[in-house]
Chain A
Amino acid sequence: MGVITEIFNTISRVVVLPSFYYMIFQSAAPILLAALAVAVAIKANAINMGIEGIMTVTSLVCVLVSSAVGGQPAGGPWLGLVVAIIVGGLLGFAVSVFAFRLKIDIILVGIAMNLIGTGASVLLMYVLTGDRTTTTSLSSGTLPQLAIPLLKDIPFLGEVLSGHYVLTYLAYILVFVMSFFLFKTKLGLRIRAVGENEEAAESVGISSLRIKTIALIISGVLGGIAGAFMSECYLAYFSSGLIAGRGFVGLAACNMGSGNPGIICLCCLAFGIFYAFSNFSTLSNLSIYALNALPYAVVLVGVVIYSVYMRKKELKRLQGLESEENLEHGQPAK
């Protein structure tokens, strides 16, 4: 009973704080970026499990480039972001080459990518900084936080919605951009066509190889932005455990949103609530480890609930088909 009271106490202490809501939006952003990255690829029927590795590498690249050109005063973070995007795109391309040109199971390519990504980032960090856990010795700086003119003066809402990092806003803007891209543009239609039925797409003259490659490059680019978020917004340095499965959580969010950016965004915000909770562990007597495990547990439960829902929907559809068939055969529907 004590635990339950404590949970309620914690919640009541935390939900009144504007910074809690601020944290929700901030901690959902990298997952959202990762989930969108996975979503583009999934729409083309390619599971980009290497997203974790791509995020790890790009977040390190960001820091290195930024500090190399002189850090924050010299606009280093911006250059870091650009390079991260390019590197991410290249890694996405690499995944597509291995998966589709060299014909390797794409999940295994992703696992190899994560392996190489973690190894390469730690090695690179060690060679360039002499430290094998963090790059705190480099001053790489962060991307700017934006104060939105009128919004920031509104008492509670201003604190929640204004003053986020540039990439946080970009993440939520990208939800709309990606929905538009996937559902309203020619390339988006082709990506979905290839994902739905490769042979049919080929038969009308779409090169499925090319489309899948493009989808994975876009996925890599989004992964690069997610990586940059982690080392230039979430923290101002890179450390070896920085990504901590956020790429995988993105994968789960994409799974739950069935590749639909809007639903993905809602899932990520829901996960964000629990990530935000773990940031307020000082206000709670609950175990910090329980709070840390919370986001992953919620993702797990979320995926299960989603699957139950989908199974019910599928069952209903099948029943509908059955009754239609019965009608055709002159039998009354039940």
Chain B
Amino acid sequence: MSEKKQTQGAIAKLFGGMDVESRFGLMRMAVAIAIGLGTAVILILVCAKNPAESLKFFFLGPLQIFNPNVPKGIGWNYFDQWIQSMIPLLFTGTAVAIMFSANKFNLGLEGAIMCGGLACGWVCCLLDGDIQAPNANPFLCAVIGLLVAMAAGALVTLIPALLEKKWGASIMVTSLMLNYISLYISRYCLFSTTLRDTRTSKYSWQWTEDVVLTFRKFMGTRFTLRLGLFIGIAVVIIGWAFLFKTKWGFKIRQLGQNPSFAKYVGVGIVSAGILVQVIGGAIGGLCGATVILGNYNYYYGVDLTGYGWDGVTMAIFAGNNPKRVLPAALFIAYIRAGASIMATQPGGPINELTKIVEGVIVLFLLAEKFLAKTHRKMIVEEAKRKQALKAVTGEEVAK
């Protein structure tokens, strides 16, 4: 009994500064992640031909640089996979967090990413590609590519926003359809226009290596420097500052929490609603462009990327707060990299199992009634503690 008290005391000390709600939130997150990872372990045990090896790579894959038995080159390569899968998550998480903060269920991010990548690829092919004018300044070319991509992405999410404003068409339905239309626009441009490289007929024309945002063997080390990561982190920070430190951000959050109140206190709810979707789409376009410029020196978009849906997962993980997108991206990218490393090992199951893990975690994170009893108990205990303190000191305790 006393032991239990002691551990409780230790935990209370550790989380002493937090109120009961955030303590509970943290606990629920931990339990949800544990359930998700438990699902992964069970799936791996069932599917893998060599479960011990697969589990090792799933949980420790990206950290193999610290394993002396793994060649350093491979170890760094695994680590790079972690960074690489994190980059799009930073963008999409922020974009969806901003849109969901205003309660706009615009699911057109997938299309924005597609069109952003396409627009950027096309600009780079025109300015710096091997079709014509191969001598443009690569830095300038990348910047123009990213800007055009933002405009293209914003356009994709703006269409459902305007259709809703003008005629009240369901954002969800129109944005979902736009995703598929974007996919076919991308395929059309890639296969039926001058964008296609007539020599390979699979990709677009190439642009010079300089434009690529990735520097392999950076400064002679084994480290791969990805500028996309810095752009992503910048987007997260700007997104957070916009949502929580500006007047517009405040209006947007008002709109999400209580639209009628927002309307009566004079928030331009229509323009705020459209603004978030334009911002979300622009970030999506930037994401598509960063992924293209960071991984390829040609445009290659024949399938939907799924990044748009990742954004929804990320926003849920981060509780619609861009500040928490970074740790969420670190976590999701870690299990994804682990899973894809595991999948490359002989007899390992495939990386699609992370989708199941993510889905399970999302469900348990959101479930209001999950752990509700523990929640109530925690609140009661907190109240009792306060009462006891009050009896001793004879005054109200602030926290």
Contact = CB atoms under 8 A, between A and B. Distances in A.
A300 B187 contact: no
Contact of A293 (B167, B185, B303): B185
27 contacts: A98-B363, A98-B367, A101-B369, A102-B367, A103-B368, A108-B312, A108-B362, A111-B309, A111-B312, A112-B362, A112-B363, A114-B309, A115-B355, A116-B359, A118-B352, A119-B353, A122-B352, A123-B352, A245-B179, A251-B172, A252-B177, A287-B188, A289-B191, A292-B187, A297-B177, A303-B173, A303-B174
Contacts of A101: 369
B167 A105 contact: no
A315 to B, nearest CB: 11
B317 to A, nearest CB: 12
B181 interface: yes
B43 interface: yes
Contacts of B192: 287, 289
Interface in A261-314: 287, 289-290, 292-293, 296-297, 299-300, 303-304, 306-308, 310-311
A107 interface: yes
A310 B368 contact: no
Given A107-B105, A115-B356, 13 more contacts: A98-B367, A101-B369, A102-B370, A103-B367, A112-B363, A115-B313, A116-B355, A118-B352, A123-B47, A132-B352, A289-B185, A299-B173, A303-B174
A130 to B, nearest CB: 10
Contacts of B349: 123, 126-127
A102 B355 contact: no
Contact of B353 (A98, A108, A123, A249): A123
Interface string B163-176: 10001111011101
Contacts of A102: 363, 367-370
Contact of B181 (A49, A293, A303, A310): A293
Given A289-B188, A293-B181, A297-B181, A251 B369 contact: no
A298 B379 CA distance: 53
Contact of B366 (A104, A127, A300): A104
A306 B43 CA distance: 45
Interface of A: 49, 98, 101-105, 107-109, 111-116, 118-120, 122-123, 126-127, 132, 241, 244-245, 248-249, 251-252, 255, 287, 289-290, 292-293, 296-297, 299-300, 303-304, 306-308, 310-311
Interface string B148-176: 00000000000000010001111011101
Contacts of A116: 355-356, 359-360
Contacts of A118: 352, 355
B362 A120 contact: no
A290 B188 contact: yes
Q: Give the size category of B's interface with A.
A: 35 or more
Interface in B97-128: 105
B354 interface: yes
B167 A311 contact: yes
B202 to A, nearest CB: 15
With most chain A CB atoms within 10 A of its CB, the pick from B176, B181, B353, B354 is B176
B174 A112 contact: no
B353 A299 contact: no
A334 B355 CA distance: 60
A289 B366 CA distance: 39
Contacts of B359: 112-113, 115-116, 119
B177 A299 contact: yes
A128 to B, nearest CB: 10
With most chain B CB atoms within 10 A of its CB, the pick from A118, A241, A287, A300 is A300
Interface string B39-55: 00001001100000000
B259 to A, nearest CB: 16
Interface string B130-160: 0000000000000000000000000000000
B184 interface: yes
A308 B185 CA distance: 26
Chief secondary structure at chain B's binding surface = helix
B90 interface: no
A158 to B, nearest CB: 34
B156 to A, nearest CB: 12
B316 interface: yes
Contacts of B355: 115-116, 118-120
B177 A132 contact: no
Contact of B169 (A120, A122, A127, A303): A303
Contacts of B183: 293
A111 B309 CA distance: 8
Contact of A119 (B167, B168, B187, B354): B354
Given A115-B359, A307-B167, A108 B173 contact: no
B65 interface: no
B223 interface: no
Contacts of B242: none
A47 to B, nearest CB: 8
A53 to B, nearest CB: 9
Contact of B184 (A112, A115, A127, A289): A289
B184 A303 contact: no
Nearest to B365: A104
Contacts of B362: 108, 111-112, 115
A297 B111 CA distance: 13
Contacts of B191: 289
B350 interface: yes
B177 A296 contact: yes
Contacts of B363: 98, 102, 104, 109, 112
A300 B356 contact: no
A244 to B, nearest CB: 8
Interface string B333-373: 00000000000000001101111101110110011111000
A289 B356 contact: no
A287 B316 CA distance: 39
Contacts of A126: 349-350, 352
A241 B303 CA distance: 10
Among all A-B residue pairs, the 7 with the closest Cβ atoms: A119-B355, A293-B184, A116-B359, A103-B368, A102-B367, A289-B188, A307-B169
Contacts of B331: none
With most chain B CB atoms within 10 A of its CB, the pick from A107, A113, A249, A303 is A303
B176 A103 contact: no
Nearest to B316: A108
Contacts of A122: 350, 352
B161 to A, nearest CB: 13
